[in-house]
């Protein structure tokens, strides 16, 4: 019986470190930018990776002031700038967002899931050209994954 237990214990010592190495280490990143001048573009995220990795822009959140009216902001996403570039954009419109009930009355988008993968770099910009002017605060959440083999 002790031989069987010793065998199982030694097997566990071999398997556990291997299983732990199979789980890719990753880090979570957050970015913030504010856009307030008319007809401008500001950078929300600019990440360049030294080594290719399985990374993901997970979500974006924007908060508009209570007097934003029908102000909008265009979110422009470029993943893997250069050879394998992919572009994607959407317009965040405050008229479709919930209004805070805490007295401030700001319009908030909550977290908008985007799930855009990247392995070399990521550029996210906010643009309000022709979309109205207000002080808009935006955040982005992304993960930088493990080295690709």
Q: Which residues contact 139 (CB under 8 A, 6 or more apart)?
A: 30, 31, 32, 60, 61, 62
The pLDDT tens digits of the residues spanning 106-115 come to 888 889 999 9
Q: Give the count of beta carbons closer than 10 Å to the beta carbon of residue 47.
A: 18
The pLDDT tens digits of the residues spanning 113-136 come to 999 988 888 999 999 988 888 899
Half-sphere exposure of 20 toward its Cβ, with a 13 Å CA cutoff?
Answer: 6
What domains, with CATH codes, occur in the chain?
A: 25-144 (2.60.120.1390)
- Is the pTM higher than 0.85? The answer reads no
């Amino acid at each position: 019986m002790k031989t069987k237990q010793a065998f199982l214990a030694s097997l566990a010592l071999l398997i556990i470190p291997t299983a732990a190495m199979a789980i890719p280490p990753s880090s979570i990143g957050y970015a913030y930018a504010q856009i307030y001048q008319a007809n401008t573009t500001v950078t929300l995220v600019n990440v360049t990776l030294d080594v290719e990795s399985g990374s993901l822009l997970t979500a974006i959140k924007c908060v508009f002031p209570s007097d934003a009216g029908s102000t909008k902001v265009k979110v422009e996403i470029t993943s893997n700038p250069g050879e394998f570039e992919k572009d994607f954009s959407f317009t965040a419109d405050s008229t479709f967002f919930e209004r805070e009930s805490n007295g401030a009355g700001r319009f908030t988008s909550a977290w908008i899931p985007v799930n855009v993968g990247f392995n070399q770099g990521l550029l996210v910009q906010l643009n309000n050209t022709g979309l109205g002017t207000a002080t808009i605060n935006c955040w982005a959440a992304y993960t930088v994954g493990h080295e690709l083999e």
